[in-house]
Amino acid sequence: MPSKRDDDYVVDLADGDEHELEELNGNGNGNGNGSHKPRSPRGSGPQGQQQTGSGALATLVNNPTASILGYCLASISMTVVNKFVVSGSDWNLMFLYLAIQSIVCIIAILICQQLGFLSLEQFNVDNAKQWSPIAVLLVAQIYTGGKALQFLSVPVFTIFKNLTIIVIAYGEVLLSGGRVTPLVLLSFGLMVFSSVVAAWADIQATLGADSHPTETSDALKTLNAGYAWMFANVFCAAAYVLGKGRVMKKLQTRDWDATYYSNLLSIPVLVLGSLLVEDWSADNFSRNFPEETRRSLITGMIYSGAGAIFISYASTWCQRVTSSTTYSMVGALNKLPIAISGLVFFDAPITFGSVLAIFFGFISGIVYAWAKIREKQKAMMTLPTRR
């Protein structure tokens, strides 16, 4: 489900990220060649502005500040909601949650199509077959991401998500013969450093807690599980992004169609996974959905699916009414409020190490965004060498 950014891909699930990964080439599309930009939602462009009417609504739709705030709010809310849903002490229905998320996303896309906010190509069986492996990669990405978010704090999860950018970048180098500039390499170094500091601070906070040795041991096991899921998610997310970009380029698929196919085809895999490995007994459902939080959990699950549409709209809106530079920098700066939201809404320890990790993660995002902006500017200034 669509993710904050530099503009080479859209992540289809918005979890920390995600729902909040950086995009690679700054071209506003999901395939890396600049030929299929996301369609602006109704209300963008001259005709869209007429449809929104005059007065306050038209002013709001074309307000850069409002678009930036909407984009940040969408990213933060999705991360917080996902963390809230999966952070229950007895939570063990991840496949079911992700299946509901994908179903709600598909329903939201179809509703938006009926209302004229977007258009989809007619379902094509041959295209669906080629999208099937990408749907499996999507399942791997969102499942490992959900498990990592379940065991790790939001700040740590957000910081480690930056490592996906490195894997994608070098994946592009191997697959497409791309290059990594010194400034991008510097940002990668800062990302790795911030991740190491975050892990160190997390472990130190656990060891320094005034608790029984058995509780400390259990907490360390939880952290180790979280880091294992996090590293798995980094590679799964990179494989999904790289694979999705190539299928989009091969089939000339637009962003909304790519989101539709990948999420629709992921539903059977997620439902089957839930039926095979998860406990559907009444007792287990009662433990996962305790009566005091049941309504909030169900609301959060529905919002997380519909939020994919919100993030896609907010991303397109921000890109339309601001400059490419502003859009790229907002994607980088957005890491800070997402990390801080974990400190505010959840019981994440606030230590010198955690603050230092957030700071360096924040700086690495700015350096990376600036490096990609410079690359784009240099590319625009380069004279063509052939007709």
Q: How confident is the model at residue 47 (pLDDT cuts 50, 70, 90)?
A: very low
In this model, does residue 26 exceed pLDDT 50?
no
Residue 384: predicted pLDDT: 57
**pLDDT, average across residues 300-318:** 80
List the alpha helices (DSSP H) in the chain: 45-51, 56-61, 64-86, 94-114, 125-151, 154-161, 163-176, 182-207, 213-251, 255-277, 282-288, 294-321, 324-333, 335-345, 352-381
Residue 382: predicted pLDDT: 63
125 token code pair = 């069986």
Residue 323: predicted pLDDT: 65
**pLDDT, average across residues 263-271:** 94
Residue 310: predicted pLDDT: 81
First to last CA, the chain: 39
In this model, does residue 41 exceed pLDDT 50?
no
**pLDDT, average across residues 47-51:** 42
Kindly state the greatest CA–CA separation across the chain: 73
**pLDDT, average across residues 212-238:** 85
Residue 175: predicted pLDDT: 81
In this model, does residue 272 exceed pLDDT 80?
yes
Distance, in Å, from the CA atom of 334 to the CA atom of 18, rounded to the nearest integer, reads 11
pLDDT digits (tens, 9 = 90+) for 98-135: 999 999 999 999 998 898 888 888 888 999 999 999 99
Residue 88: predicted pLDDT: 74
Q: What is the CA radius of gyration of the chain?
A: 21
Q: Out of 34-38, 85-89, 120-124, pick the least confident.
A: 34-38
133 token code pair = 């492996």
Residue 78: predicted pLDDT: 84
**pLDDT, average across residues 308-335:** 71
Place of tokens 């930009």: 37
Strand partners, 44: 42
**pLDDT, average across residues 186-197:** 89
With b for 16 or more beta-carbon neighbours within 10 A and e for fewer, the 273-294 pattern comes to: bbeeebeeeeeeeebbbeeeee
Of residues 145 and 259, the one with the higher pLDDT is 145
Distance, in Å, from the CA atom of 150 to the CA atom of 223, rounded to the nearest integer, reads 10
- Closest by Cα among 40, 56, 26, 48 to 184: 26
Structural contact between residues 149 and 83, judged by C-beta atoms closer than 8 angstroms: yes
Of residues 262 and 90, the one with the higher pLDDT is 262
In this model, does residue 14 exceed pLDDT 60?
no
Distance, in Å, from the CA atom of 247 to the CA atom of 253, rounded to the nearest integer, reads 8
48 token code pair = 């869209």
Of residues 347 and 87, the one with the higher pLDDT is 87
Distance, in Å, from the CA atom of 300 to the CA atom of 78, rounded to the nearest integer, reads 9
Three-state DSSP class for 42? strand
The whole-angstrom distance between residue 29's C-alpha and the CA centroid of its chain comes to 15
Distance, in Å, from the CA atom of 161 to the CA atom of 14, rounded to the nearest integer, reads 12
Structural contact between residues 267 and 131, judged by C-beta atoms closer than 8 angstroms: no
Tell me, what DSSP letter sits at residue 283?
H
Q: At what angle do helices 352-381 and 324-333 cross, to 10 degrees?
A: 160
- Closest by Cα among 354, 371, 329 to 158: 354
With b for 16 or more beta-carbon neighbours within 10 A and e for fewer, the 329-366 pattern comes to: bbbbbbbbbbbbbbbeeeebbeeebbbbbbebbbbbbb
Q: How confident is the model at residue 4 (pLDDT cuts 50, 70, 90)?
A: very low
pLDDT digits (tens, 9 = 90+) for 325-349: 666 667 767 777 888 887 777 777 7
Strand partners, 18: 20
Query: Can you say whether the dihedral through the CA atoms of 128, 133, 137, 140 is positive or negative?
Result: positive
